[in-house]
Amino acid sequence: MSGRPLRTQASKPRRAPNNVQRLREEQLLTKAELARKAGISPLTVSRIESGFECRVDTKRKIIIALGLTPSDRRKVFGAARTGGRIS
């Protein structure tokens, strides 16, 4: 047996498709430029564009940096997760 711990389903980071990269490229912004405007790191932008989850505050910063309003969040990040249940 190898000395590596088993990776369980619960330990995998969730990925959620979003439109951050498309919207950034439409505005001819680099990841570094968007990161600077949003006040976050370029690595964070890369992770978000890859579909990794982020905090609500980070989403808000990206939305505003793209010149949108918080009410446009669905255009950027899609519908909010409802825990598998649609009300």
pLDDT 10s digits, 9-53: 555 667 889 999 999 999 999 999 999 999 999 999 999 999 999
| pLDDT at position 81 over 80 | no
| pLDDT at position 66 over 80 | yes
Q: What is the 3-state secondary structure (H, E, C) of 10-71?
A: HHCCCECCCCHHHHHHHCCCCHHHHHHHHCCCHHHHHHHHCCECCCHHHHHHHHHHCCCCHH
DSSP state of 83: T
Residue 76 lies in a domain: no
The boundaries of the domain holding residue 39 are 15-70
| pLDDT at position 85 over 50 | no
More confident residue, 8 or 27: 27
Q: Number of folded domains in the chain?
A: 1
Residue 4 lies in a domain: no
Residue 84 lies in a domain: no
Read off the CATH number of the domain in which 62 is found. Answer: 1.10.260.40
